[in-house]
Amino acid sequence: MRISTYRICVILAFLFSVNFGFSQGLVENELTTNPVIAKKYYDFKGASRIPTVIDTLSLGTNGFLEDFSYVGPYPDTNLWIDNKVFINRDFAKAPVTLGIATFEGLDETGYPYDFTAGPTTSAVADYLTSKPIDLNYPATDSLYFSFYCQPQGNGNAPESLDSLVLQFKHSVSGWKNVWAKKGSTLSASDSTWDFVMISITDTAYLKEDFQFRFFNRATISGNTDHWNLDYIYLNRIRNKNDTTFEDVSFVYRTPSLLNTYSAMPWKQYDTTDMKAVYSTTIRNNHTTIKNGSFIYKIYDDLGTQLNTTYSGGSFNLDPYSVVGYINYSPFTSPPINYNIPVQTAAKRFMIESILNSAPDNERGNDTVRHIQDLTNYFAYDDGTAENSFGLSTLGAQLAEQFTLKVADSLQFVDIYFNPFLTNTTIYSFNIQVWSNAGGVPGIALYTGTDAETPDYSQVTHNQFIRYKLDAPLYLTPGIFYVGFTQNTNQFLNIGVDKNTNSQSKLFYNVTGTWNPSPFFGSLMLHPVFGGYSEFTGIADAQKQATSELMVYPNPANDRLFINYKSENQKLNFSISDLLGKIIINDVIESDYIDISMLESGVYFISLNNGNKISIAKFIKVKQ
């Protein structure tokens, strides 16, 4: 009976998963969680970032201006009183300036508000609420509130039942809707933004404690139904035609300094791997030509500036409304005049690019930094996932292409699996390495003897899980492929970065023939190289800790069943929350644990058999 119940839970979870179909090919699926937020929440140990003192903001000369150009993932506590939206530089297409706020169906922990909500439901999800603002001005002062918004971006399109809503706090009737927009889909080539301008003349808003807030309606069981918000501006002495801003800005993060990869092993690097130039995207948001300057500096991993500072001089920058993005190569395609030398050990470099123009409304979007790693692994992705790829065929294979310049030993494969409703830790795959056969995977050079399972962690780097090969695989120079064969017809879902593109390096096989990926993006899979001595004593504790313990159903409501091999009839266990606080500490005397008293949320269960500790993560949902 327990087995049947569990199977029903898995089937239902699968049927309710977003965009799942019975495709025989590679499928692009939405994320269920946000690994960036989840890791940051874990780093904070769940400490609240809501200000303890809610001070009242003054418009002053510059007004209330928020362009989200800082490093997130949470909103600036100097301006906002909640933590629900995701501050990032990845989900928007062609943002107004560097950085945006993204609304979806996840809470501040990076996990869904309700794992059980169906994919066609819509409920209130994220809030972005301002601190009180002193608007004690006469209606004649011409107060205007403006912002930019974009549905979907690089993420998932909100449906017509979903919406983004703006509310003002009325001194008599409380929060009132002043603007709303229904969900819609952007075409692949569409990167437009809606500009919204609202005049504030109602005296019920012209008070010392005025507040505004945005919220979205979305499917609250996943990282879906995205809305992007940018450049919120509230000030006096404006007019309805005040739609441009005295602000020259970077638009995107700086890309890799390497020709092919975002990161690569230092042993494989030579100076031909460095780009001759690197690219930036710059936008003048004003209506007039602005004179600006551009420089960059390069630092080593100790923070020491290397013997180079590039200057692009000064240049008159035309308005975006006239010419689009700036097309001046000394600014947007500067030469890399420092050639990172061949390394004798793993090393990290940083390039810092700085714009300058005057006057400029927002200095935070005038500087971008890129960290360049020469370590022990290959990567095409930038370390953040906006989507995922999956296969739904038993025996299906997924492979990514890499090239060695010198012989080396493959030790591990790091993979980011995207958690979703089905408990994929019960499904398995085998790591594989293939030779090259004319540009597609050929003969299998390695097949793992032990079946592996997807694991999810909040404590590892960017949530990649490290899978160790049975023995180091010595590879000679040339093209090789790394991936897996899955032992299930369920989607395992590997994270995909949509801001870099290694589509030409990715292949899948479901019928006996290898096919190129039909989708834009880079798979979050990293082959890790090095000699045995480099990894002596290094083990993937998270993988070892979770490999022998399985809990189900997951999510669970009142009972959590335990699958764990042990000769001991009684096992000590503890359940802790995301903050590490132990909620339950007891002894297991049957094959399940009563968790009915737990609040909804994410928990860790730890089992101690006297010799070692095993850990698993589970989600408690309402009955």
Tell me the per-residue pLDDT of 277-287, one tens digit each, with 9 for 90 and over: 989 999 999 99
Percent of the chain past pLDDT 70, that is, above it, reads 86
How, if at all, do strands 290-299 and 263-265 pair?
A: unpaired
Joined together, the tokens standing for residue 618 give 């589970």
pLDDT at 572: 80
Measured CA distances, 264 to 335, 368, 476, 526 (Å): 21, 22, 16, 9
- Interval 345-369 mean pLDDT: 90
The pLDDT-based confidence of 232 (bands split at 50, 70, 90) is very high
pLDDT at 54: 79
Task: Kindly state the average pLDDT of the residues 420-425.
Answer: 53
Q: Is the pLDDT of residue 159 over 70?
A: yes
The whole-model pTM stands at 0.77
- Strands 57-58 and 133-134, by their bridges, are parallel
Instruction: Give pLDDT tens digits for 212-229.
Output: 999 999 999 888 999 999
The answer for 34, left when phi > 0, alpha when psi is -120 to 50, beta otherwise, is beta
Please return the burial class of 241, using the count of CB atoms within 10 Å of its CB with bins 0-12, 13-18 and 19+: exposed
Give me the pLDDT at residue 536, please: 44
How confident is the model over 484-488, as a mean pLDDT?
93
Radius of gyration of the chain (CA): 26
Q: What is the mean pLDDT of residues 158-166?
A: 96
Question: Which domains does the chain show, CATH number per domain?
Answer: 32-241 (2.60.120.260), 250-375 (2.60.40), 387-543 (2.60.120), 548-620 (2.60.40.3080)
Greater confidence (430 vs 606) lies with 430
Vertex 414, ends 413 and 416: CA angle to 5°? 140
Q: What is the pLDDT of residues 557-592, one digit of tens each?
A: 888 888 776 655 567 888 877 656 678 888 887 778
> Edge to edge, what strands does the sheet with 290-299 contain?
263-265, 367-375, 347-357, 290-299, 305-317
Structure tokens at 449: 């003897």
